[in-house]
């Protein structure tokens, strides 16, 4: 999982470098004094407690980043599938949402060095688990497999 900064909205590397030089997101954050974080609830990494406060490891990372930068923090809850488009349109400065860096995503946004690597798992209801030892055991007519929209799962 990584933090993602939106540094440009165009496709050419030359244009990206020109835009970065022209207007750094980090410079804008420092001038405004507030780091706007786009996030989607992802238990236990980023979630709201009973008081509506954002908590979790990724929230702690985001708060520490804002503290290190000497700026305030503002969380901008966003649907998962809207995170990258919202980042690209400037609704927030950074995504903290358990997002895996992929080549397709890296064409649009920049990723930091990951602070966690998570594997993929399959969860099967106990009534159907007998005989399932590999994900290919689930590749049968009548089985329904679900995953969160837009994830690498």
pLDDT digits (tens, 9 = 90+) for 74-94: 999 999 899 999 999 999 999
CATH of the domain at 90: 3.40.190.10
Flag whether 118 is in a domain: no
Flag whether 72 is in a domain: yes
Q: How confident is the model at residue 6 (pLDDT cuts 50, 70, 90)?
A: very low
With a threshold of 0.85, does the pTM exceed it?
Answer: no
Mean pLDDT on 90-113: 88
| Per-residue pLDDT at 10 exceeds 50 | no
Flag whether 121 is in a domain: no
Q: What is the extent of the structural domain holding 93?
A: 3-111
pLDDT digits (tens, 9 = 90+) for 43-52: 888 999 999 9
Flag whether 62 is in a domain: yes
Flag whether 143 is in a domain: no
| Per-residue pLDDT at 5 exceeds 60 | no
Distance set, CA 36 to CA 10, 62, 78 (Å): 22, 10, 12
pLDDT digits (tens, 9 = 90+) for 13-44: 566 555 654 568 889 999 999 999 999 988 88
Residues 6+ apart with CB under 8 A from 20: 7, 8
Flag whether 132 is in a domain: no
**In whole angstroms, what is the distance from residue 11 CA to residue 28 CA?**
22
Number of compact structural domains in the chain? 1
Flag whether 68 is in a domain: yes
Q: Exposed (0-12), middle (13-18) or buried (19+): which is 58, by Cβ within 10 Å?
A: buried
Flag whether 116 is in a domain: no
């Amino acid at each position: 999982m990584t933090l993602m900064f939106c540094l440009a909205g165009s496709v050419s590397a030359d244009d990206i470098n020109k835009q970065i030089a022209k207007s750094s997101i980090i410079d804008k954050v420092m001038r405004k004094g507030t780091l706007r974080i786009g996030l989607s609830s992802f238990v236990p990494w980023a979630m709201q407690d009973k008081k509506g406060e954002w908590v979790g490891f990724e929230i702690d990372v985001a708060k520490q980043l804002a503290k290190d930068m000497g700026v305030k923090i503002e969380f901008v809850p966003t649907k998962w599938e809207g995170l990258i488009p919202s980042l690209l349109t400037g609704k927030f400065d950074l995504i903290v949402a358990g997002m895996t860096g992929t080549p397709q995503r890296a064409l649009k946004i920049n990723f930091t060095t990951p602070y966690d690597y998570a594997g993929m798992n399959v969860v099967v209801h106990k009534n159907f688990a007998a005989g399932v030892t590999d994900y290919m055991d689930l590749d049968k007519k009548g089985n329904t497999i679900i995953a969160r929209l837009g994830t690498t799962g």
